Chains A and B, each alone.
Chain A
Amino acid sequence: MEHYNKNNINILIEQMPKTPRISISFFFKVVKKEKFAGINSLLARLLLQGTKNYSASKLAELFENQCIDITSKAKQDYLKLSLVFLNEDLKEAINLTKDLILNSTFNDYKKEIYKMKNEIISDLDNPKFKLTDCFVKTIFDNHPYSATHTKILESIDNITKEDIIETHKELLKNFHSIVFVGDCENKTELIDYLSSNFNFLESNDTKNEIEDLFTTQNKEDKLIFIPKNDAQQAQILQGWLVPSFNSPLSPNYSILNNILGAQGLSSRLFVNLRDKQGLAYTVRSQYETLLHSAIFDLYIGTAPININKSLLGFEDELQKLADKAPLNEELIGARENIKGRLKYFSQNNSQICSIQGYNYTMGLGLDYNEKFLSKLDKVTAEDVSNTAKNLLQTPKLTVIIAPEEYRIE
C-alpha cells in the first residue's frame, strides 16, 4: 500500500488489478470524550439519513440501485465510512459520499434516536450482548470507552440537533485519511480525483485528549452476577485491562491469547474445557486492542451447573502456563497461526482496506503487520509464562449471567 498527501489529504492506495469491486474507506479520528454517550454512533447513522439534496429514502435508493454498499460506523477511536462497489460505479459512489459528508442535514435526528433506542433494547434481549455490555461498562468505569449501549440509553434523549452539528464539525476537523483498494489504471488521476472531490477535508493531527487506561483500577477481584431465570446456559466473561498495541508487551499478549484460547480448535481452553470436559460449545480467549487501552478476556457459555468448574478451568489453564512455559513447538505454532490468520483476513479488497486503514489511523504505519509479525518472532516461552503470571496476580473482573438459583458471590 502506498501513501500520498495531496492538498493536505492523506490518501492510501493499494492497486489490485482485475478485481471487480473497489473498496474505499474514510477514516475520522475520535480525539475526545463524547458529550453524550453514543453521540458518535448517532452521527454515524445520521450521515445516511438525508442531505440537502436527497431524503434518507432517496439516498438509500441511489446507493442500492447501483449496489454501492455503504456502512457508517463509530468505534471507540474512529468513525469510518466504508464503501464497496463495482469498478464502473466509482464516480457515483464518490459523488454520493461527498454529499453525505458535506451536506447531511440531521433533520431526522429525533426519529433516529427513537430507532437507535429500540435497536439497543432489542440487542439487550441477547444474553451474550448484555454480558459484554456490563463487562465493558464496568471495566472501563468512567473512561470514554465505557459508553456501552445501556449507558447510551441513559442519556440519548438529551441530545439536541445542535449537539449533533457540533459533533459533525468536530469530526470534519479530525478527518484522517482516505483508503482505496481496487483496480486502478492511473494512480495519478485517481489521487487528483479524490483530492479534488474532498478538498473540504484536511488530514489533521489534533491532540488526542482521551486518557490511557492500561491497568485495572480495582484493588481486588470483582464479580457481578446478573440473574436470568430462563437462561439455558450461563454466560461467563472474565478479564483484565492490559497493555495495547503500542506497548512492547503487546506481542506477548498476542501469543498468550493464541495459545490459550484463540487458535481455533486446538487452543488450550478449547481442548481442555470443551474437548476433554465437555463444558461448552464456545470457549475462547480474546485480546482486543484499542488506542488507549486493551482487554484480555476469557469467555464460556456453559450449563449453569458448571459455573464453578468453568471458572476453575480458566484459572487452571492460566496457572499451567504460569507454572510451565509452553514448549517451543507450541510457541512456533502460535506465531504461524497468527500469520496464517492475518493472510486469511487480508484476502479481498474490503478486508485489506479495513486492516490497513485501521493501522494507519491508529498511527501504527503501513508496515505495521510486518513489524508486528517480526515482533512475534522475538517472544519467548518465558515471556508467555510471565504474561500469564501477571494476569493471575492482577485483580480481575468477572460477569456472569445465569438463573438466580446458580448465583455465586
Chain B
Amino acid sequence: MMEIINKELVEYPYLEKPLSIYTFDNGYKVVLAPKKSPMINISSWVKTGSINENKDNNGVSHFVEHLLFKGTTKYKAGYFDKKMEQLGGIINAATWKDYTFYYINIPKEHFRIALELHSDMMVDAIFPGQEIGPRFDIKGNPPEEKRERYVVIEEIRMGEDNNWRKVYKNLNNIMYQNHPYKREVIGTKEIISNITQEEIVRYYKTFYTPNNITTIVSGVFDEEKVINLIKDNFRFRDNSNIEPCVADKKIKETKIKNPTVVYDSSDIQTGYLMLGALCDSASNLKETIALDLLSTILGDGKSSRLYSTLVENQEKPHYYQIESCHYQFKDGDNFFIEANFDPTKKDIVIEELKGQLRGLEKIEQTELDKAKKRARVNFAQESETVCDIADAIGFWMSVCEDITLAKKYLSTLEEIDCSYLQSIAKKYLDPDLVSISICLPEGEKNGTL
C-alpha cells in the first residue's frame, strides 16, 4: 500500500480553511478542500491530453476518457453510471490539451461508495473490445455494430456542424508549426475508426500512472477517514513492463512563426472569426495574470474596449458578438479575439481588430483597476461550489503543477501596473504576429489581404 511522504497546508483564496495536500511515495497527490455543502465532489485529474499524442493516435486521450466508463474487473459497463446517478450523483469527464479529468458530485452521505467506484474506474479500467466496437473503414459503410467508437465519431460530426468549433480548429492548426497542441483534442474520424484496442490500453498504461494523477475531494469530510479510504482504494497497478506510448516532441512555441489567414465556408448568414496569438506558459504567473487583465480590458463585457468601441458607439454595428479570451496551457497560452459579424465587412473587421491590438500600447489606470477587481471576483466565484473549487484546484495542479500559485496570484496581481501590461501586450499581441481563421457564408468572397 502506498505511503504518505509529505503533507502540506496551503491557504486558498476565499476558503475558510487551508487545503491539505498529500504526496504519496509513488508520486500520487491528493488535495482535500473543506467546504460547507450538502454535496461532495470527488475528481481525479490526469496530466495527459492531446499534448501527449502523435499524428497516428491523435484523439486517443479523449477516447480513453469515454472508455473509462466501460467497465472494470469488478464492475460491468454501466454499473458505475447507474449506481452513482441513482444515488443522486452527477458524473462526467472531460479531456483538454493538458489534462483529462473525471468527477462525481454527489450528496455527501454517499461519499464512501462514490470514492470506491471512482477509484476502481481510475486504476482498473479494462477497455472491453465489445464496448469499444469493431474497427472499420470510415470511407466505406458504417459497421452494423456501432459502439463507443461510433459515439465519438458522432461527437466529431457534431463539432463539424458548429461554426465556432470549425473556426477554432482551423486557427489552432495554423498557429502552431509542430507542437501537438496543433491537433484537435477530439482527433479525427479516420484515426478513431481505426485505432486498436492495444494502442488504447498502451496509452492508458503509459499515462494513467500515480505520479501523473491528482485526486481532489471538496466538501464536508473527516480528513483522516478520507485519506485512509483513498489509501485503501487507489491501488495502482504496476504497468512498468509495457512499451510506453511516444508523444510528439514538445518544443514550446510562444510566437507564431508564419502568421496566416485561413478561410472556410458554410451554409450560414453571418461571418465567424477568431484571431489568435501564442504566449508563454500558464506557470509564468505574472505574464499569465497580465494576459488575463488584458483580456478583460479588451473584450470582457459591455464596457470593454471591443464592445464599447465596435458595438456600443456605432450607429449600425457590424459586429453581432465580440469578445476576447485567454486560454492557459502548460506549454504556452493562447490569446483570442472572437467576432461574429456582417460577412460583407470582413476586410474592415480584420483591420479593426488589428487596430484594437495596436491600441493596447496605452492602458488607462481605470481600466487596470476594473480588470484587477474582476480577477479578484473570479476567485470568489470559483470558491462558491464544491465543483468550482475542485475544477480550479485541478487546473493549478495539472497545468501549472503548483497549487501555491493560486495564492500568489492575488499578491502578484497587485504588483502589476499599466506599463507592465503595455509591455506584455507589445510582447505577445503584436498585430503582425497573429493568425486569423474565418468562416463565411457559401458564395461570399474570401478577398485578399
For B313, the closest partner residue in chain A by CB is A57
B102 CB, min distance to chain A CBs, angstroms = 12
A336 to B83, CA, bound (A): 11
Indicate whether B239 reaches chain A with its CB closer than 8 angstroms. no
> Are B154 and A281 neighbours in the complex by a CB distance under 8 Å?
yes
Residues of A near B384 (CB, < 8 A) are: 19, 21, 347-349
> Are B155 and A305 neighbours in the complex by a CB distance under 8 Å?
no
* Cβ < 8 Å to A, chain B residues 326-384: 340, 342, 366, 369-370, 373-374, 377, 380-381, 383-384
Indicate whether A56 reaches chain B with its CB closer than 8 angstroms. yes
8 Å CB contact of B90 from A86, A118, A264, A334:
A264
B260 CB, min distance to chain A CBs, angstroms = 24
Indicate whether A332 reaches chain B with its CB closer than 8 angstroms. yes
For B379, the closest partner residue in chain A by CB is A20
A303 to B78, CA, bound (A): 24
Contact with B along A1-43 (1 / 0, CB 8 A): 0000000000000000011110000000000000000000000
> Are B158 and A265 neighbours in the complex by a CB distance under 8 Å?
no
Residues of B near A329 (CB, < 8 A) are: 86
A106 CB, min distance to chain B CBs, angstroms = 16
> Are B301 and A66 neighbours in the complex by a CB distance under 8 Å?
no
> Are B39 and A343 neighbours in the complex by a CB distance under 8 Å?
yes
> Are B90 and A341 neighbours in the complex by a CB distance under 8 Å?
yes
* Cβ < 8 Å to B, chain A residues 319-366: 329-330, 332-334, 336-337, 339-341, 343-344, 347-349
A334 to B106, CA, bound (A): 14
Residues of B near A206 (CB, < 8 A) are: none
> Are B308 and A57 neighbours in the complex by a CB distance under 8 Å?
yes
B285 CB, min distance to chain A CBs, angstroms = 22
Indicate whether A126 reaches chain B with its CB closer than 8 angstroms. yes
Residues of A near B161 (CB, < 8 A) are: 127, 231-233
Residues of A near B370 (CB, < 8 A) are: 64-65, 67
Residues of A near B39 (CB, < 8 A) are: 343-344, 347
8 Å CB contact of B163 from A126, A231, A349:
A126
> Are B380 and A21 neighbours in the complex by a CB distance under 8 Å?
yes
> Are A233 and B149 neighbours in the complex by a CB distance under 8 Å?
no
Which one of B24-32, B140-148, B194-202 contacts A? Answer: B140-148
A86 to B376, CA, bound (A): 10
Chain B contributes a number of interface residues (CB within 8 A of A) equal to: 74
A18 to B157, CA, bound (A): 46
* Cβ < 8 Å to B, chain A residues 67-124: 67, 86, 111, 114-115, 118-119, 121-122, 124
> Are B158 and A282 neighbours in the complex by a CB distance under 8 Å?
yes
Indicate whether A212 reaches chain B with its CB closer than 8 angstroms. no
> Are B380 and A20 neighbours in the complex by a CB distance under 8 Å?
yes
Indicate whether A189 reaches chain B with its CB closer than 8 angstroms. no
Indicate whether A61 reaches chain B with its CB closer than 8 angstroms. yes
Known: A347-B37, A347-B39. A278 touches B157 (CB 8 A): no
B265 CB, min distance to chain A CBs, angstroms = 9
> Are A333 and B142 neighbours in the complex by a CB distance under 8 Å?
no
Which one of A132-140, A269-277, A389-397 contacts B? Answer: A269-277
> Are A347 and B150 neighbours in the complex by a CB distance under 8 Å?
no
Residues of B near A280 (CB, < 8 A) are: 151, 154
- Residue picked from A111, A115, A127, A344, most chain B C-beta under 10 Å: A344
Indicate whether B133 reaches chain A with its CB closer than 8 angstroms. yes
* Cβ < 8 Å to B, chain A residues 157-212: none
Indicate whether B14 reaches chain A with its CB closer than 8 angstroms. yes
A280 to B157, CA, bound (A): 10
Residues of A near B148 (CB, < 8 A) are: 275, 278
For B159, the closest partner residue in chain A by CB is A232
> Are B88 and A337 neighbours in the complex by a CB distance under 8 Å?
yes
Which one of B266-274, B415-423, B424-432 contacts A? Answer: B266-274
- Residue picked from A121, A266, A330, most chain B C-beta under 10 Å: A266
Known: A265-B81, A266-B81, A303-B142. A344 touches B105 (CB 8 A): yes
> Are A118 and B342 neighbours in the complex by a CB distance under 8 Å?
yes
For B366, the closest partner residue in chain A by CB is A65
For B308, the closest partner residue in chain A by CB is A57
Indicate whether B258 reaches chain A with its CB closer than 8 angstroms. no
A303 to B106, CA, bound (A): 34
> Are B157 and A340 neighbours in the complex by a CB distance under 8 Å?
no
A278 to B152, CA, bound (A): 9
> Are A278 and B149 neighbours in the complex by a CB distance under 8 Å?
yes
8 Å CB contact of B321 from A18, A122, A230, A336:
A122
A16 to B316, CA, bound (A): 44
Residues of B near A124 (CB, < 8 A) are: 269
- Residue picked from B39, B87, B304, B312, most chain A C-beta under 10 Å: B312
A333 to B387, CA, bound (A): 22
Residues of A near B91 (CB, < 8 A) are: 264-265
Known: A228-B267, A337-B86. A279 touches B146 (CB 8 A): yes
> Are B86 and A274 neighbours in the complex by a CB distance under 8 Å?
no
Residues of A near B366 (CB, < 8 A) are: 65
Known: A65-B369, A280-B154. A340 touches B90 (CB 8 A): yes
A42 CB, min distance to chain B CBs, angstroms = 16
> Are B386 and A347 neighbours in the complex by a CB distance under 8 Å?
yes
8 Å CB contact of A61 from B86, B92, B145, B303:
B303
Indicate whether B82 reaches chain A with its CB closer than 8 angstroms. yes
Known: A18-B16, A65-B369, A67-B374. A115 touches B303 (CB 8 A): no
Residues of B near A301 (CB, < 8 A) are: 154, 158
> Are B158 and A281 neighbours in the complex by a CB distance under 8 Å?
yes
> Are B86 and A86 neighbours in the complex by a CB distance under 8 Å?
no
Known: A122-B320, A280-B151. A264 touches B270 (CB 8 A): no
Indicate whether B223 reaches chain A with its CB closer than 8 angstroms. no
> Are A114 and B381 neighbours in the complex by a CB distance under 8 Å?
no
* Cβ < 8 Å to B, chain A residues 238-287: 263-266, 271, 274-282
Residues of B near A303 (CB, < 8 A) are: 142, 154, 157
17 example contacts (A-B, Cβ-Cβ < 8 A) are as follows A57-B302, A67-B377, A122-B340, A125-B266, A125-B268, A228-B267, A229-B267, A230-B442, A232-B157, A278-B147, A281-B155, A336-B86, A337-B88, A339-B107, A341-B90, A343-B88, A347-B387
* Residues in chain B within 8 A of chain A (CB atoms): 14, 16, 37-39, 69, 77-78, 81-82, 85-92, 105-107, 133, 142, 145-152, 154-155, 157-158, 160-163, 266-270, 301-304, 307-308, 311-313, 315-317, 320-321, 340, 342, 366, 369-370, 373-374, 377, 380-381, 383-387, 442
